[in-house]
Amino acid sequence: LPRDSFRFNPLPTRVLFGAGTRSALAEEVAAAGITRALVLTTPGQKGMGEEIAQGLGDLAVGVFGGAAMHTPTDVTQVALDALTAAGVDGVVSVGGGSTIGLGKALAARTGVAQVVLPTTYAGSEMTPILGETEDGLKTTRSGPEIQPEVVIYDIELTHSLPAGMSVTSGINAIAHAVEALYAPNGNPVMDALALEGIRALVGALPRIAADPAGGAGREAALYGAWLCGTCLGNVGMALHHKLCHTLGGSFGLPHAETHTVILPHALAYNAPAVPEVMAALRPILGDDPAAGLHALARDLGAPVSLRALDLPEDAIDRATELSMQARYPNPRPLEAEAIRATLARAWAGDAPI
Ligand code: NAD
């Protein structure tokens, strides 16, 4: 990929990767200077959190199991009260983007250290970005205090991620890498990570879908998710992420599924402006990379239409308007009619063109 000139200031998260790496958690928590840790989870993963807390022994003061999608500030306030009451100086986030978002929200307010054990492929653990919702409005901010200090990728914690969620979460990760390839502030290191991350996930997802609890593909998928999350943390995103942010924030659509539906169409929209990116993707995704992504989702039983996510058809016009409003770099200029047509195809589940 042509990168004539660039600046690169890599983010400093410490990473442990491998099956069973959570056995090093207590050591890592202590090394991060944490003496009283609060373990964070969603209600569905509280059991997993209890086990993690048990392994931490005296270093853990308890489990807060109330993390929710899109980091609502009222949940953050409840967790903040628990954190203050127990004299907590660090959080251990066990889960996907929702749980990691809560940890980031607490770190942004108090400066507590974060140790993260990711259990999906969404990639939030590798970014200094926090999205929060208050009164139905989603805002995003970024800062060094939001970036987690330590990330422990223990493959064993991903075996319980259901097949459907594994596929959509994996394609969510691929989306970060695809947009990194055409980011104007990208660099050759991120390009290499992006292509390697996409390759790993495209190979792993069919194996996981065939036997989610069997373990095959789990290591490659989490490896790919780490690389793709690193891209998300280090370079700027474009039309695809903007469309998904709009559909999630203003229409309540689910995060990973929305990424899965939109990605082939957003890539098809940008394709004419990025021939070198399409050429780099062909060995991984086939002659038509956008069609390859669409087929990957469809063949693995993931949703391929916004209609299937219950978006009303008349939302297309408003979503087009909203995605035209913010200023962000995109390789192909934002053309309202073409974006509306792109969203209409995504709504109907048509092939990307
Ligand atoms: P999630 O964290 O909401 O998880 C979805 C569901 O799956 C939850 O109920 C969770 O408990 C469950 N789950 C997760 N891992 C599991 C496992 N291994 N076994 C069994 N159940 C499991 O979903 P997500 O897609 O990871 O995160 C989405 C959220 O993260 C969105 O709010 C999105 O905006 C945010 N996000 C933020 C960033 C960032 O950089 N700030 C990046 C990516 C995503």
- pLDDT tens sequence across 256-266: 999 999 999 99
CA distance 125 to 157: 15
Mean pLDDT of 109-137: 95
Ligand 1 pocket residue status of 45, Cβ below 6 Å: yes
Domain boundaries, the chain: 14-158, 163-348
Q: Which atom of ligand 1 is nearest to the CA of 159?
A: 18
| Distance (Å) from CA 157 to ligand 1 centroid | 13
Three-point CA angle 114, 72, 80, nearest 5°: 50
304's CB contacts (< 8 A; 6+ apart) are: 260, 261, 294, 297, 298, 349
Ligand 1 and 165: CB distance under 6 A: yes
Cβ(66) to ligand 1 under 6 A?
Answer: no
Q: How many CB atoms lie within 10 A of CB 189?
A: 15
| CB of 70 closer than 6 angstroms to any ligand 1 atom | yes
250 — pLDDT class (breaks 50, 70, 90): confident
What ipTM does the predicted assembly reach? 0.99
**Is domain 163-348 in CATH 1.20.1090.10, yes or no?**
yes
Verify whether ligand 1 is closer than 6 Å to residue 170 (CB atom): no
77: left (phi over 0), alpha (psi -120 to 50) or beta: alpha
Expressed in angstroms and rounded, the spacing between residue 27 Cα and the centre of ligand 1 is 26
Interacting residues of 156 by C-beta distance below 8 A, sequence separation 6+? 19, 20, 22
Residue 100 DSSP label: H
Here the tokens at position 163 are 């097949």
- How far apart (Å, rounded) are the C-alpha atoms in residues 222 and 118? 9
Alpha carbon distance 272, 331 (integer Å): 9
Q: What's the whole-model pTM score?
A: 0.98
For the CA of 233, the nearest atom of ligand 1 = 40
Nearest atom in ligand 1 to the alpha carbon of residue 160 is 19
- Report the nearest atom of ligand 1 relative to the CA of 41: 11
Angle at 260 between CA 341 and CA 16, to 5 degrees: 145
* Residue 150: closest CA among 216, 94, 79: 94
Q: How confident is the model at residue 136 (pLDDT cuts 50, 70, 90)?
A: confident
> If you average pLDDT over residues 158-182, what whole number do you get?
98
State whether residue 133 is helix, strand or coil: strand
Does residue 94's CB lie within 6 angstroms of at least one atom of ligand 1?
no
pLDDT digits (tens, 9 = 90+) for 42-66: 999 999 999 999 999 999 999 999 9
For ligand 1, is residue 303 a contact (CB within 6 Å)?
Answer: no
For residue 326, what pLDDT band results from cuts at 50, 70 and 90?
confident
Mean pLDDT of 175-180: 98
Alpha helices by DSSP H, listed for the chain, are 25-31, 46-56, 73-85, 97-110, 163-181, 188-210, 218-234, 239-251, 255-270, 275-285, 289-299, 315-325, 336-348
pLDDT averaged over every residue in the chain: 96
Please say whether the beta carbons of 103 and 116 come within 8 A: yes
Mutational pocket test of ligand 1: of 50, 71, 120, the residue with most ligand atoms within 8 Å of the beta carbon:
120
Q: 35: CA distance to ligand 1 center in Å?
A: 27
Protein residue closest via CA to atom 36 of ligand 1: 97
Q: Tell me, in angstroms, the distance from the centre of ligand 1 to residue 94's CA.
A: 10
Q: Give the largest CA-CA distance in the chain.
A: 59
Q: Chain centroid to CA 140: how far?
A: 14
> What CATH number matches the domain at 14-158, 3.30.70.330, 3.40.50.1970, 2.60.40.10, 3.30.470.10?
3.40.50.1970
Q: Among 173, 174, 183, 171, which residue's Cα sits nearest to residue 274? A: 183
Angle at 146 between CA 63 and CA 322, to 5 degrees: 110
Nearest CA to 268 among 303, 246, 292?
Answer: 292
Measured in Å, how far apart are the chain's first and last C-alpha atoms? 23
**Using a 6 Å cutoff on CB, does residue 231 contact ligand 1?**
no
Q: Supply the DSSP symbol for 72.
A: B
Pairwise CA distance, residues 60 & 51, whole Å: 11
- Nearest Cα neighbor of 66 from 120, 33, 105 is 105
129 CA: nearest ligand 1 atom: 41
Residue 1 has pLDDT above 80, yes or no: no
